[in-house]
Amino acid sequence: MTLHLDLLRHGETELGGGLRGSLDDALTAHGWQQMRDGVQGRGPWDRLVSSPLQRCARFAETLASQMQLPLTLERHLQELHFGAWEGQSVAALMETDAEDLGRFWSDPYGFTPPQGEPVEAFSQRVLGAIDGLYQAYAGQRVLLVSHGGVMRLLLARARGLPREQLLNVDVGHGALFSLKVSAQGQLSEAP
């Protein structure tokens, strides 16, 4: 049996780009529109699952109410915690911490931002949550409202990319991708 998992990234946030991580900022009006555009003409879903951070959860709550679908908030599907880099833009880090930023971009599994969450631990957390979703909802179609890092991780695995290419996966605000999850935890991209 397969779990059909549609992944929706949150839209633009009030505090702008950069490494948002576990910061809990709200969506802009444009961010809301990006997410509405992302789900337009998609579905139908049996249920919604969302990161509890408000940039994901507020939209998921609104959509679940409109579509009269059950919603689960799943803390294990939150973004990677960037530690001392949280809230900083890549441009700012290029000026203050260029060498370490370069190490992170070239090998995110091998270098952890200062006081940050190791990508290996993040990967185990996210994949464990996906396994839990499979156990609970196999045979259903689920919309997962989450973050760029979560989606990059899942898409990189589905595409069979080497670990070093994790950050090369492009996931724009409001982007929607579809995956299939098998009983063995195998991820594959769906059309």
pLDDT band for position 18 (cuts 50, 70, 90): confident
Q: What is the DSSP string of the chain?
A: --EEEEEEE---BTT-SS--TT--PPBPHHHHHHHHHHHTT----SEEEE-SSHHHHHHHHHHHHHHT--EEE-GGGSPPP-GGGTT--HHHHHHHSHHHHHHHHH-TTT---TT---HHHHHHHHHHHHHHHHHHHTTSEEEEEE-HHHHHHHHHHHHT--GGGGGGS---TT-EEEEEE-TT--EEEE-
pLDDT at 191: 82
The answer to whether residue 65 scores a pLDDT higher than 80 is yes
Chain segment 117-160, per-residue pLDDT in tens: 999 999 999 999 999 999 999 999 999 999 999 999 999 999 99
The whole-number pLDDT of residue 16 equals 79
Over 80: is that where the pLDDT of 63 sits? Answer: yes
Q: What is the pLDDT of residue 56?
A: 98
Chain-wide mean pLDDT for the chain?
A: 96
Which domains, ranges and CATH numbers included, belong to the chain? 3-190 (3.40.50.1240)
Lowest mean pLDDT among 7-21, 112-126, 132-146, 171-185: 7-21
Condensed to tens digits (0 to 9), the pLDDT of residues 148-166 reads 999 999 999 999 999 999 9
Whole-prediction pTM: 0.96
pLDDT band at residue 15 using 50, 70 and 90 as cut-offs: confident
